[in-house]
C-alpha cells in the first residue's frame, strides 16, 4: 500500500507537469530541429480580383476636366471608387472596359494612364484597393480588420485580433486565400522562426485566418504557478481520499 501511494503521487506530479503549456508548444520564433523549415520566397504584390473596390485617383492641371468630373469643386485632383466587373474590367471617367484583373496596382495604373492620356495628356493615375481587410476566426480572435500597410504579416494580423490563445493549435494555422483557381488553403506551423519571409508570412486583402482549437488543450491549464499549485493540490486531495477509503 505504501509503494502504491508513492507511485500514485509520482504519476499525478508527472501528469501535472504534462498538463501545463510550455514554450515548445506555444512559443514563436523557435529554431528547433524538430520544427518545419520554410523556404524564403519573394514578396508578391497583390493582384486585382473580380469584385474588388478600386480607388481611382487622377491628377491633372486641366481645371476644365476636373470640373467636369467633380462638379462641386474646381480642384485638380479627383478620386472615387469603382468595382471590378465579373468580366475583369472597370469603367472609369472618359474610358470604359479597361481590363485590370490579374494585374498589380502599378500595372493597372499604367494601363489606365495610357488610355486616359489619349484624352488628358498630363493625367497621372493612382490606384489602390478600398476593401483592404482580412478576417480572423477561431482561437486567434474573431473579427474583420483593416490592413494598415503593405507587406502586412501574420504576426501583425494576429496581434490586431487579440493574439493566439494558448489553447490554439499552433501547428496547423490555416489561411484561406482567393486565387485564380478558386480558394487556396495554406496550412503551416506558426512556431518556427523560418516562417519569416516564407509564403505563409504575408497577409493579403480578403484573407481569412482560421485558428482551430488544439485537441490536447482539453486537459491542459495555463502555465502559471497558481494554476499549477491548484492542480497539484486537487490531485493530492484526490489521492488522499482514495488512500483513506482503501484503508477502510
Which CATH number is associated with domain 53-129? 3.30.1950.10
CA-to-CA distance for 115 and 244, rounded, in angstroms? 89
Exposure string over 200-234, b if 16+ CB within 10 A, otherwise e? bbbbbbbbbbbbeebeebeebbeeeeeebeebbee
Q: How far apart are CA 211 and CA 52, in angstroms?
A: 26
State pTM to two decimals. Answer: 0.75
CATH topology of domain 23-46+132-218: Outer membrane lipoprotein wza fold like (3.10.560)
User: Per residue in 170-228, pLDDT tens?
Assistant: 999 999 998 877 899 999 999 999 999 999 999 999 999 999 998 865 445 555 455 55
Return the C-alpha cell found at 138: 477561431
Tell me: the pLDDT tens digits for 34-85? 999 999 999 999 999 999 999 998 888 877 776 666 544 444 566 788 999 9
d(C-alpha 211, C-alpha 39), whole Å: 22
End-to-end CA distance of the chain: 13
Looking from the CA of 173 toward its CB, the CA atoms found within 13 Å total 29
Task: Give the DSSP letter string of 12-46.
Answer: HHHHHHHTB--HHHH-SSB--TTS--PPP------
Amino acid at each position: 500500500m505504501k509503494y502504491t501511494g508513492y507511485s500514485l503521487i509520482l504519476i499525478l506530479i508527472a501528469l501535472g507537469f504534462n498538463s501545463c503549456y510550455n514554450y515548445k508548444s506555444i512559443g514563436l520564433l523557435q529554431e528547433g530541429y524538430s520544427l518545419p523549415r520554410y523556404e524564403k520566397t519573394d514578396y508578391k504584390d497583390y493582384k486585382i480580383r473580380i469584385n474588388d473596390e478600386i480607388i481611382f485617383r487622377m491628377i491633372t492641371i486641366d481645371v476644365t476636366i476636373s470640373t467636369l468630373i467633380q462638379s462641386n469643386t474646381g480642384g485638380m485632383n479627383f478620386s472615387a471608387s469603382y468595382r471590378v466587373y465579373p468580366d475583369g474590367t472597370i469603367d472609369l471617367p472618359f474610358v470604359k472596359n479597361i481590363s485590370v484583373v490579374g494585374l498589380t496596382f502599378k500595372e493597372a495604373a499604367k494601363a489606365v494612364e495610357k488610355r486616359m492620356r489619349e484624352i488628358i495628356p498630363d493625367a497621372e493615375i493612382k490606384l489602390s484597393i478600398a476593401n483592404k481587410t482580412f478576417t480572423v476566426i477561431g482561437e486567434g480572435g474573431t473579427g474583420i480588420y483593416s490592413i494598415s500597410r503593405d507587406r502586412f504579416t501574420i504576426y501583425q494580423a494576429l496581434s490586431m485580433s487579440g493574439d493566439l490563445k494558448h489553447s490554439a493549435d499552433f501547428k496547423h494555422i490555416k489561411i484561406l486565400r482567393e486565387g485564380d483557381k478558386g480558394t487556396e488553403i495554406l496550412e503551416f506551423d506558426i512556431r518556427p522562426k523560418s516562417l519569416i519571409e516564407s509564403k505563409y508570412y504575408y497577409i493579403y486583402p480578403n484573407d481569412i485566418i482560421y485558428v482551430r482549437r488544439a485537441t490536447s488543450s482539453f486537459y491542459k491549464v495555463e502555465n502559471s504557478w497558481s494554476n499549477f499549485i491548484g492542480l497539484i493540490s486537487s490531485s493530492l486531495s484526490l489521492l488522499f481520499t482514495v488512500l483513506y477509503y482503501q484503508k477502510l
